[in-house]
Structure 1
Amino acid sequence: MVHTSFPLVSVITPSYNQGNYIRETIESVLNQDYPSLEYIVIDGGSTDDTLSILEQYSRTDERIRFISEKDRGQSHAINKGIAMAKGEIIGWLNSDDTYIPGAIRLGVEMLGRHPDWAMVYGKANTIDESSRKISDYYVAPANFKQLFDGCMICQPATFIRKNVMLDVEGVDETLHFCMDYDLWIRITQKHPIGFIPYPLANARTHDTCKTTTLWSSVGIPEILRTSVKHYGSISKTWLLAYQSHHGDKGLTGLLHYLRNQSTFDCLPTVTNMNRYDDSWVPPRFTVTVESDPGCPVNSLLIKGRIPPESAPHLPLYFKFRCTVQVDGQPAGSHIVGSSFLLNIPVQPMNEKCEVEILSSFFLTSSDKRMISFVADEVIPLSAEESNVIKTILSSSVLLKIG
């Protein structure tokens, strides 16, 4: 029976081998006290008892329909469900999560009261394998700016207008972990959203869920890429998450990590420099950098040091000056210590430029070379990378120099 006085809600569940939990998920949807509901399960070709459970419910309740076929993952499944959905409002409930009674009715009611809201979300619980509450899920009011600091929206506790989902072109299928976080960011870039301080859903955690198994290997890299993509930088929250799972490998270590995860679109490169094979540099250190016209070099990051054994006479707080020229033009000077990270602004006129660093300190090596410091890292940075580095340096997260 169709209840025309209530907007149709389409609940979408992506599913793959969650037979242990999907029955409870289905019951939490079909037992809602909301009369205008369709339930779409997009199964990725489960090999456990998921299909027999879905067939059982689809035979007895016309509100539920499902497809089962190989797909490209959870994000692809959600987009397939959106394309099939007939409702004005979309609910996204994973196959191991559950709704709290009354969740859909309350979500629809609040969207009706606030026609400017693109989506509404509420509080949630974290539950275990046996559906016992573990804790309150961290949820708080959010907008585009606040989402930079972290994700304070619980995905199963959200209800989204379908026209908004279509407006932002659905879920990003290149993401396999933080596709929901990315979706909230894209929605809040264009629309206001609403928060209601009532519990709407239970998010289940167990040994085989993504949050447990893929957080370090997939989750953190995707979150850092997503943050840089939308905000051009990384918040303290996500830096601490990176550190807790990958250790403090320093600022340059983080930079290499981000590069290895293809976080940045294009990168300038060093094509020539007069650094010696043992990484010592002469008092006149020259670096040639080349970059793409659409992604010019923005700064040159140098991690340098003077090993104590090479100059034992130097005082503890020794400082010296590095004077910089770019393509023969003065580009400032910098005071550094015996261990330093120097980020030199570079504004080249051409795709190829030469940076010259003149050091006020030098000594003679055992093989009679004139040397100044060890340059462990020489990394030309794009504008995008420079912005990330500047934000991190200005944050309260303490990263080692290297």
Structure 2
Amino acid sequence: MSNYPANNCLLSIIMPVYNAGQYIETVLQSIALQTFSNYELVVLDALSTDGTKEIVEARQKEDQRVRLISEKDNGIYDAMNKGVASAKGEWVYFMGCDDGFYDASVLERLFYSLTEEYDLVYGDVLWVPDEVIEKGTCMPTDLINRNINHQRIFYRRTLFQQYGGYDLQYRIASDHELNIRFFCSTAIRKKYVPYTVARYHSGGFSANKVDEVFWNNWKEIFKKNFAQHLPAKIMYDKLGWYCRCLIDQQQYAKAAPIFFDVLVHTLSPGFVKLTMEQYFKSRKLHAG
């Protein structure tokens, strides 16, 4: 069905792939079955060697909305930035190569929310094989404890021009850092819609991995983005928790400046007590 002027692409679905031959047919079918038709699919193939490229090329011949970019990239977030740069749609959505839309009517239902009134629209996502739905509104401070799944989110493309794209220094958590920037910005107009957007395979790229650079920069990320959403005491309490996490990991040199920063701003005997207890516990545990 056509829900939008034919000469104006509403949505660019951006899908980075590499050796995704076992999944690619399923996800391409999930997209092709959508009852909403005014989209393009931009597939960024990082020079696959397992037939992924040939499968996409075959689909491209059948559907002019499919575009293939096949070239070496500097990781998944570099591919996503390239996808945004080449996108023609007013909105962008990132699809994992082993994931898929929840049902055939997802885009048709979401279409009515992708308007000039909003810059970022998000729904729910089903994690598989866990069969758990990540749902509900996301407040800026929710992103302190964990990222919002990017497959819940539709972004207005101009956000990436105004606020920057994925920061490539974060090899695993760049989507978390970007979502912190976008959700914490009061200038970005957001809307939650109670629809399940996608099925997300929980064994994906970032599962069970730690982005050391992201966590090394956490204090700066935290203070730059969350200060306007938290009272100072709570903000420094949260940084105190991070300080104790570093101590637990024996990263004492990184914990020390955060310890003094929190102490200067809170003068909290309770913080000192908890942190010193964690320090001696850590030293004792690792000494044994």
TM-score, normalization by structure 1? 0.57
| 2:51 counterpart letter in structure 1 | D
Deviation for aligned residue 1:226: 5.3
2:180 pairs with 1:177: no
Partners of 1:167 and 1:234 in 2: how far apart?
29
1:48 to 47, 50, 74: 50
| 1:141 counterpart letter in structure 2 | T
C-alpha distance 140-51 of structure 1, shift in aligned 2 (>3 A) = same
Measured against aligned partners, the alpha-carbon deviations of 1:238-263 in whole angstroms (never above 9, x if no partner) come to 969x99xxxx773682444x47xxxx
C-alpha distance 20-116 of structure 1, shift in aligned 2 (>3 A) = same
Alignment-derived partner of residue 319 in structure 1: none
C-alpha distance 4-226 of structure 1, shift in aligned 2 (>3 A) = farther
Structure 1 unmatched ranges of 5 or more: 129-133, 260-378
Deviation for aligned residue 1:180: 1.4
1:229 to 220, 227, 230: 220
2:275 pairs with 1:401: no
| Structure that is richer in helix per residue | 2
Deviation for aligned residue 1:73: 0.5
Alignment-derived partner of residue 200 in structure 1: 197
Alignment-derived partner of residue 121 in structure 2: 120
Structure 2 matches for 1:375-386, cutoff 5 A? 381=257, 386=260
Measured against aligned partners, the alpha-carbon deviations of 1:119-147 in whole angstroms (never above 9, x if no partner) come to 1111111124xxxxx22243331233332
Deviation for aligned residue 1:385: 6.0
C-alpha distance 49-397 of structure 1, shift in aligned 2 (>3 A) = farther
Deviation for aligned residue 1:223: 4.6
Partners of 1:395 and 1:8 in 2: how far apart?
54
2:246 pairs with 1:387: no
2:157 to 149, 155, 162: 162
Q: Indicate if the aligned counterparts of 2:219 and 2:239 stay in contact, CA closer than 8 A.
A: no
Deviation for aligned residue 1:107: 2.6
Deviation for aligned residue 1:197: 1.9
| 2:135 counterpart letter in structure 1 | V
2:212 pairs with 1:211: no
Partners of 1:396 and 1:50 in 2: how far apart?
56
| 2:11 counterpart letter in structure 1 | V
| 1:111 counterpart letter in structure 2 | L
| Number of corresponding residues | 260
| 1:120 counterpart letter in structure 2 | V
Alignment-derived partner of residue 275 in structure 1: none
Measured against aligned partners, the alpha-carbon deviations of 1:337-371 in whole angstroms (never above 9, x if no partner) come to xxxxxxxxxxxxxxxxxxxxxxxxxxxxxxxxxxx
Q: Indicate if the aligned counterparts of 1:120 and 1:193 stay in contact, CA closer than 8 A.
A: yes
C-alpha distance 35-116 of structure 1, shift in aligned 2 (>3 A) = same
Corresponding residue SS for 1:159: strand
Q: Indicate if the aligned counterparts of 1:28 and 1:98 stay in contact, CA closer than 8 A.
A: yes
Alignment-derived partner of residue 367 in structure 1: none
Partners of 1:53 and 1:117 in 2: how far apart?
36
Alignment-derived partner of residue 333 in structure 1: none
| 2:102 counterpart letter in structure 1 | I
| Structure that is richer in strand per residue | 1
Q: Indicate if the aligned counterparts of 2:39 and 2:65 stay in contact, CA closer than 8 A.
A: yes
Alignment-derived partner of residue 12 in structure 1: 14
TM-score, normalization by structure 2? 0.77
RMSD between superposed Cα atoms in Å: 3.4
Structure 2 unmatched ranges of 5 or more: 224-234, 281-288
Corresponding residue SS for 1:110: coil
C-alpha distance 154-249 of structure 1, shift in aligned 2 (>3 A) = closer
| 2:182 counterpart letter in structure 1 | I
Corresponding residue SS for 1:211: coil
Partners of 2:240 and 2:173 in 1: how far apart?
13
